[in-house]
Amino acid sequence: MVKVVVLGAAGGIGQPLSLLLKTNPVVTGLSLYDIVNAPGVAVDLSHINTPAKVEGFLPPNEGLKQALTGAEIVVIPAGVPRKPGMTRDDLFKINAGIVRDLATGIATTAPKAFVLVISNPVNSTVPIVVEVFKKHGVFDPKRIFGVTTLDVVRASTFAAEALQEPSLASKLVVPVIGGHSGVTILPIFSQAQPPLPASFLENKETLEAITHRVRYGGDEVVKAKDGAGSATLSMAYAGATFVEKVVRAVSGEKNIVAPTFVYLESDAAGGAVIKQELGTDVPYFSVNVELGPSGVEKILPIGKVTAYEKSLFAGALSELETNIKTGVSFIDGAKL
């Protein structure tokens, strides 16, 4: 029995994500919470003939508490999306408070749950969740994840497209490390599995163009939606993929590797190795991690990168440090 809670379940991401979770037989309980329409979405989904029991909750009458009771996995896509001309950081003003309040609810009602943060700006909202959990004395670095799966999904798609091999997209895995915004997104095409041809990796123009496309893939969608929001369907797919990996790991399956934005301060899990590789003390980074029944079992090393990939690290790290500080200082000193 795995109970998954979606906070922000009536939104552009929340609805298709909840649909994908409902259709996945590994999910046996689905609890939906939003400030609007969550009970309606829940009743709609509850008619689908799969095992998951679906319930929906609104804020009054301790709806958040009820939604979170018994939660094992909590996914947070609550918050406002971008409009053209905005950066993810522009969302901080509104989303920081939303994420803080939801994190407080989780810390008090389901402190052992795995928390998967989708709400932007991820580079700052994950530190907010961590600081809230620290304040409540329930922080476990193995259980809080920033969802960066969409960057990895995009990297495979765009590389397969550039190679004119559509069937490669679902087989290709390209590590994407760093953070989840613009220059902090670092696709490592040299480590793709199966390996990409030298003609691709050694063509500077192709490589720069595709790296840029992965870094700014979110903007491509924001522009195309023209004021109606940002990526929702591809994000729901990416989010559901990540949730499934967590569920399988929790259920005891071995060798499950997922990319995610994690706290590096837990040396036992391998965070110190990443800091050594980066040559800096950055407290969070998105990398591949091995998942197990208690969450992040091992943070996997970045490994060998090319000179071009390495040349992008400095810009990513300085932006990331700023984003992380913004999140931490939002909670530091605040009364919760």
Ligand X SMILES: O=C([O-])CC(=O)C(=O)O
Ligand Y SMILES: NC(=O)C1=CN([C@@H]2O[C@H](COP(=O)(O)OP(=O)(O)OC[C@H]3O[C@@H](n4cnc5c(N)ncnc54)[C@H](O)[C@@H]3O)[C@@H](O)[C@H]2O)C=CC1
Binding site for ligand X (CB under 6 A): 81-82, 88, 120, 150, 218, 221-222, 230-231
Which of 230, 286, 288, 323 touches ligand Y (CB under 6 A)?
A: 230
**AA identity, residue 123:** N
Where b means 16+ CB within 10 Å and e means fewer, 141-165 reads bbbbbbbbbbbbbbbbbbbbebbee
Q: Which has the closest alpha carbon to 326: 174, 113, 99?
A: 99
Considering beta carbons, is residue 109 or 230 the nearer one to ligand X? 230
Considering beta carbons, is residue 172 or 176 the nearer one to ligand X? 176
User: Does 91 sit near ligand Y (CB under 6 A)?
Assistant: yes
12 is in an annotated binding site: yes
User: Does 86 sit near ligand Y (CB under 6 A)?
Assistant: no
215 is in an annotated binding site: no
Catalytic position from the list 47, 136, 180, 212: 180
**AA identity, residue 144:** I
Q: Are 35 and 9 in contact (CB under 8 A)?
A: no
Dihedral (C-alpha) 286, 118, 245, 297: value to the nearest 10 degrees?
40
Considering only residues 259 to 288 of the shown chain, the ones binding ligand Y according to CB under 6 A are none
Dihedral (C-alpha) 156, 91, 115, 322: value to the nearest 10 degrees?
80
User: Does 326 sit near ligand Y (CB under 6 A)?
Assistant: no
Considering beta carbons, is residue 113 or 222 the nearer one to ligand X? 222
**Residue closest to ligand Y, measured at CB:** 11
82 is in an annotated binding site: yes
Q: Are 32 and 41 in contact (CB under 8 A)?
A: yes
Phi-psi region of 6 (alpha: psi -120 to 50; beta: other; left: phi over 0): beta
Catalytic-residue membership of 180: yes
In the list ligand X, ligand Y, none, the entry touching 157 (Cβ below 5 to 8 angstroms by class) is none
Considering beta carbons, is residue 247 or 258 the nearer one to ligand X? 258
How far apart, in whole angstroms, are the C-alpha atoms of residue 294 and residue 231?
30
x-or-dash string of contact with ligand Y, 144-173, rule CB under 6 A = ---x--x-----------------------
User: Does 118 sit near ligand Y (CB under 6 A)?
Assistant: yes
Binding site for substrate, by residue number, is: 82, 88, 120, 154
